[in-house]
Amino acid sequence: MPLEKAEAVILKSFDWSESSRTVHFITREFGKLALVDRGGRRLNTKRGRLLPFSRMEVTFYASRKETSGYISDAEMIEPFSFEKEGTLGRLAYASAACELLYLLLPDEEPQTVLYGYFISYLRQVTQVEKRCLPALFIAFFLRLLSQLGYKPSLAYCCGCGAEIANLTAEEELLQFSPERGGLICRACQKPGEYYIGLSAGEAKLLETLQRASLNEAASLPIGYRDARHLIEVLTSFLKFHSGLLSDLRSLAFLEKLKTSQLNG
């Protein structure tokens, strides 16, 4: 087996014995990569430990015959700490980004630009004001969709291509079609189709975040209920176009957290 090195962040892991597990990474050099972590669950492991939300250099034996290689060593490069105000929310939004990458990325296809964008996202999660976390995540979500070829149409009707802003009044409720891939004008709407209503302000915010850098998104505060609705729109779109079958578990945790705070 050849020995390889990769810069990596853990996306998900699965335990399959008392001492071992399979770990899925996003790597700079190889894209999404699954590796066996033999003995890595032991507290007395002799090699470097694998830590979530950390940029690491992973040394591994690449398998040519089996489905997964296995880890030889790991060295910390950059940990991401979420100890600033709103720790649980920061963890949830970082976990949701990891979950999206795990669910959507193809195996072993290099994603160098996306990897760098993800690292920048994690850095931003550690430091932005907590009220700007939703906008930051939505901007990441939209960029990931675009990078993987699932870009929703937010400025033009996905039926006829007309510019939405020229067809609707500012106070009019717009319609988003998850199945057809974006906003749809009144003339192109069909009876019986499923639509999600968006205010003109919500549609404009989505379009802005689709074009925004992470730095720009990190300065936009969004209320929790508004963010939840926008994420629902994007998740519904994703289910139609990628085969995603369930909601993001990381954001379900955030929903429970918010509900408990509202009812407390």
Point out the least confidently predicted range of 29-38, 60-69, 99-108, 111-120: 60-69
- For residue range 192-244, list pLDDT tens digits in order: 999 999 998 899 999 999 999 999 999 999 988 888 899 999 999 998 888 77
| Helix ranges, the chain (H) | 87-104, 112-127, 133-147, 200-211, 214-217, 224-242, 249-263
Beta carbons within 10 angstroms of residue 233's beta carbon: 22
3-state SS assignment for residue 213: coil
Confidence of residue 42 (pLDDT cuts 50, 70, 90): low
What pTM was estimated for this model as a whole? 0.90
Residue 191, CA distances (Å) to 167, 185, 195, 196 in order = 19, 13, 10, 14
Decide if pLDDT at 262 tops 50: no
Bridge partners, residue 176, by sequence = 183, 196
Task: Please list, in sequence order, all residues whose beta carbon lies within 8 angstroms of the beta carbon of residue 204, skipping any fewer than 6 positions away.
Answer: none
Q: Which two tokens stand for residue 5?
A: 């090195």
d(CA 25, CA 156): 36
| Largest Cα span, the chain | 66
d(CA 3, CA 261): 49
Decide if pLDDT at 169 tops 80: no
Bridge partners, residue 198, by sequence = 174
Decide if pLDDT at 105 tops 90: yes
The domains found in the chain, sorted by start residue, are 1-79 (2.40.50.140), 82-264 (1.20.1440.120)
* Per-residue confidence (pLDDT) for residue 62, from 0 to 100: 84
